[in-house]
Structure formats: structure tokens, C-alpha cells
Amino acid sequence: MDRGRLRHDIGVSGGAPCCWLCERPLGRRIEWHHPLPRSRGGRGTVPLHPICHRAIHAQIGNAELARAYRDAAALRAHPGLARFLAWIAGKPPDFHAPTHGKR
């Protein structure tokens, strides 16, 4: 899990680590997201479900992430991600489905 990556403290929900975006408990697979993209000088990372990570990058480009979406609250307020979060809320931690881009 470490792989030498920099990261913020993992949020904890009921004693289990949780996803930075959806706040559901993390499953077996964890991906690390740079809130400030590496291409814009970001170094720190936060834990996400793979499907949550893909949803962020399918909806928002790196330039926009760097400009307006560096924190989880701002991402959760994004209309496309808000729909995704409402849909994913009841799914198990290791749930995965194809991720579609902007519509």
C-alpha cells in the first residue's frame, strides 16, 4: 500500500479508512490522487476508490482541478460528481463499473 508515495492522513469512518471523495470505507484496492495535479506542482496524495478516482478525471481536467477543485468539498459540489456520489453512496467498497466521461 505504501509504495513510497506522499499522502495525507487517511480519513477514518467507523474505524476503517475511508475514501477522500465519497467518504465510504475503502476496499482492497486503493488509488492515490493528487488534489493539486503533479503537472501543476502537487506532491501530496489522498486515498480514493478506483471508481472515484476515474470519476474525478472523467469530469474535470488537470487545469480545472488546480484552479477550482483542490479540496473534497469543492469536488463534491461539482454537478457531475454530485450525481456520481449520489449513485455510488449505497455501493460496496470494492464496487466497480465503467466510468463515462462528460455528457
HSE toward the beta carbon, residue 26, CA cutoff 13 A: 22
φ/ψ of residue 35, rounded to 5: -55, -40
* Burial class of residue 1 in the structure, from the number of CB atoms within 10 Å of its CB (0-12 exposed, 13-18 middle, 19+ buried): exposed
Query: What is the predicted pLDDT for the residue at 102?
Result: 62
Query: What is the predicted pLDDT for the residue at 96?
Result: 87
* Burial class of residue 59 in the structure, from the number of CB atoms within 10 Å of its CB (0-12 exposed, 13-18 middle, 19+ buried): buried
User: Crossing angle of helices 79-88/50-59, nearest 10°?
Assistant: 160
At which residue does the C-alpha cell 481536467 appear?
A: 61
pLDDT, tens digit only, all 103 positions of the chain: 344 343 444 555 556 789 999 999 999 999 999 999 999 999 999 999 999 999 999 999 999 999 999 899 999 999 999 999 999 999 999 998 887 766 5
